[in-house]
Structures are given as C-alpha cells and as structure tokens.
Amino acid sequence: MNIKVGISMSSKESIVNFLKLCERVLHVSRKPGRSEFINVAKVTGIGIIIIGAVGFVVSIIAQLVGNG
C-alpha cells in the first residue's frame, strides 16, 4: 500500500485514506494478554533503570572531572 500523498489529492481524499489506514491498524492490533503485558512492563522497567544508571554514572564522572 502506497502511503505517499500527492499534491493533486484533495484534502478530503487524504483524510479518508488516513482514516482507512487507522481502521486497518485497529483491526490488526489486539489487546495483550496478562503475561505479555507483564513481560513488556519488566523490560520497560529494566530499560528505565539502565538509562538512569548510565546517566548517574555520567554525572558522577562529570563532577569528578570538573573538580579535578
């Protein structure tokens, strides 16, 4: 499916095409099961902790280098 919108396409046609694409996505998507949701929550939490730890280490190094 070509998503590219040309200049000759009217705004009404582009809105209709966009709504058709949205409808397609909603038909394909599904609600995650409990175990899938828990796994996604765990991975997201671990990612947040890792990013926070990296930021903390970088700030500590920056403070040590700045005072030296």
The closest alpha carbon to 3, from 29, 21, 27, 26, belongs to 21
Selected residue with higher pLDDT from 49 and 67? 49
DSSP assignment letter at 33: P
Highest mean pLDDT range out of 26-30, 53-57, 64-68? Answer: 53-57
Per-residue pLDDT at 8: 60
Q: Within 10 Å of residue 31's Cβ, how many Cβ atoms?
A: 6
Per-residue pLDDT at 66: 85
**4 pLDDT tier (thresholds 50, 70, 90):** low
pLDDT digits (tens, 9 = 90+) for 9-45: 688 888 999 999 999 999 999 899 999 999 999 999 9
